[in-house]
Amino acid sequence: MRTVRWILAGVFSAICYTQVVAQIVPKLLSDNKVEFTVKAPEAQKVQVDLCGTKYDMIKGADGIWKVTSNSQVPGFHYYSLIIDGVSVADPASPSFYGCGRWSSAIDVPEAGMDDFEVQAVPHGQVRIMHYYSEVDKAWRPLMVYTPAGYDEGKQKYPVVYIQHGGGEDHHGWMEQGRTAQIMDNLIAAGKAVPMIVVSANSNVRARNGGFGGGYSWQGMQNFRSELIDNVIPFVEKNFRVKKDRKSRAMCGLSMGGGQSFYIGLRSPEVFANVGVFSTGMFGGIAGAANIDLEKEVPGMLSDTKTFNRQLDVLFVSCGEQDPRISYTRDIVKKMRDGGVEVKFNSYPGDHEWQVWRKSLHEFAQYLFKK
């Protein structure tokens, strides 16, 4: 087992999660407005790009630029500084990999979501590993959450393989998604069984160049091979895990939701639990339309009894302000009308991390209890 380094779950508190320690900017104000401050005395123009909204900063006599945003909804918001036309990360904020680049972020807490924060409960660990990929022909990263007590015990655990979205990587669920905090709190409260959560980088290079992907069964083949032939064997060799299908789950957000739909539902010999969060494959994004469920997952509607028997949990979710929501509801209705046993929930929010944190929080409570 090759361990690069260890990260204790819950290193950051809510107040400094998106700030550099000892810095006071960016500052979240009481009305959920955000105050940004940048020292750039020689700059001619400075802006903050907060989730696509650009704010012009005002320069003071001391060369310090300031601006206060509009009130922000709870959740995780990427932002960048634009200094004389160049978009850069804010040195006063940690960087998070999202939107296809390392970006800054501000995390606005939501009342009642204490399970997303570090609590006085036993904490698990997040380990950064490297495994050799026969698909990429290279060493690739992996982040693995193990529950509290893993190193001291001998028991075997079920596993969730959790997938990030487009423009993100394996860091997303463990950092932006607060996976360790969510799992620590649920397990400590007895709401979820102790489980291991594995976050792989699904940006796998296609053999003909570029990256494999796309919302189709064929487009998923490179990552399917990566996951089933490389990642799962590595995890099962190096961790104490249960190796039967009922002890494995696959879930993901957006692009990862599409991967979970295709790979999870078409590989019942591998996974008995599948979660699909905010996928665009049902519609709501350019080039996507309502799909033919039977064509994409043979047997879902033509042999529904077998399909249901093979799955312990099928869970679908989406944000209520996400352009994908109406299409997702339509697909869930088609599933249910066809007799498919599917759980569904929606949460306030657009295509963003607060929705996905809530999706994992709910999905985890259904798992491995049959």
**Chain segment 232-253, per-residue pLDDT in tens:** 999 999 999 999 999 999 999 9
d(CA 189, CA 155): 20
d(CA 117, CA 19): 15
In a domain, 254, yes or no: yes
- Across the range 67-82, mean pLDDT stands at 94
Residue 16: the pLDDT is: 35
Higher confidence at residue 24 or residue 89? Answer: 89
The pTM of the full predicted model, rounded to 2 decimals, is 0.90
Residue 163: the pLDDT is: 97
Q: Which residue carries 């606005």 as its tokens?
A: 108
Residue 100: the pLDDT is: 84
Alpha helical stretches, state H, 212-254: 221-225, 232-238
Sign of CA dihedral 21, 22, 27, 28: positive
Higher confidence at residue 288 or residue 53? Answer: 53
The dihedral formed by the CA atoms of 347, 348, 354 and 357, expressed in degrees to the nearest 10: -10
Residue 284: the pLDDT is: 82
Residue 212: the pLDDT is: 45
Q: Considering only CA atoms, which of 248, 235, 282, 242 is closest in space to residue 262?
A: 282
Residue 67 and residue 169 in one domain: no
Residue 207 and residue 224 in one domain: yes
Residue 92 and residue 130 in one domain: no
Q: Which residue carries 């501000």 as its tokens?
A: 106
Q: Which residue carries 């960048």 as its tokens?
A: 80
Side-chain half-sphere exposure of 122, counting CA atoms within 13 A: 13
CATH number where 99 lies: 2.60.40.10
Residue 95 and residue 209 in one domain: no
Letter string b/e over residues 146-165, b meaning 16 or more CB atoms within 10 A of that residue's CB: bbbebeeeeeebbbbbbbbb
Residue 66 and residue 168 in one domain: no
The H or E element spanning position 106 is strand 101-108
d(CA 178, CA 341): 29
> What phi, psi does 44 have (nearest 5°)?
-95, -30
**pLDDT tens digits along 267-283:** 999 999 999 999 999 98
Residue 71 and residue 137 in one domain: no
Q: Which two tokens stand for residue 357?
A: 């944190």
- Per the structure, the count of domains in the chain is 2
Residue 103 and residue 124 in one domain: no
Judge contact between 20 and 110, C-beta under 8 A. Answer: no
d(CA 344, CA 85): 43
Higher confidence at residue 346 or residue 19? Answer: 346
Range of the domain at 67: 27-108
In a domain, 15, yes or no: no
Residue 330 and residue 185 in one domain: yes
Sign of CA dihedral 162, 166, 170, 173: negative
d(CA 126, CA 145): 4
Inform me whether the pLDDT recorded for 333 exceeds 80. Answer: yes
Residue 168 and residue 269 in one domain: yes
Strands 248-253 and 273-277: parallel
Q: pLDDT band at 15, cuts 50/70/90? A: very low
**pLDDT tens digits along 288-326:** 777 899 999 999 999 999 999 999 999 999 999 999 999
Residue 275 and residue 311 in one domain: yes
| Average per-residue pLDDT for the chain | 89
Inform me whether the pLDDT recorded for 21 exceeds 70. Answer: no
- In 10 A of CB 65, how many CB atoms? 23
Last residue of a domain, one of 79, 108, 137: 108
Residue 147 and residue 73 in one domain: no
CA-based radius of gyration for the chain: 21
Residue 242: the pLDDT is: 97
- Across the range 138-160, mean pLDDT stands at 96
Q: pLDDT band at 18, cuts 50/70/90? A: low
- Across the range 87-110, mean pLDDT stands at 89
Sheet strands (E) in 46-100: 46-50, 53-56, 58-59, 64-68, 75-83, 86-88, 96-98
Report the range of poorest mean pLDDT among 13-27, 206-220, 221-235.
13-27
Residue 214: the pLDDT is: 58
Alpha helical stretches, state H, the chain: 171-174, 179-188, 221-225, 232-238, 255-259, 265, 293-296, 304-310, 325-337, 353-366
Residue 241: the pLDDT is: 98
Q: Considering only CA atoms, which of 245, 249, 112 is closest in space to residue 192?
A: 249
Q: Which residue carries 């997702």 as its tokens?
A: 328
Inform me whether the pLDDT recorded for 358 exceeds 90. Answer: yes
Residue 144: the pLDDT is: 98
Residue 140 and residue 203 in one domain: yes
Q: pLDDT band at 261, cuts 50/70/90? A: very high
In a domain, 19, yes or no: no
Q: Considering only CA atoms, which of 235, 302, 311, 226 is closest in space to residue 266?
A: 311
CATH number where 233 lies: 3.40.50.1820
In a domain, 167, yes or no: yes
Q: pLDDT band at 287, cuts 50/70/90? A: low
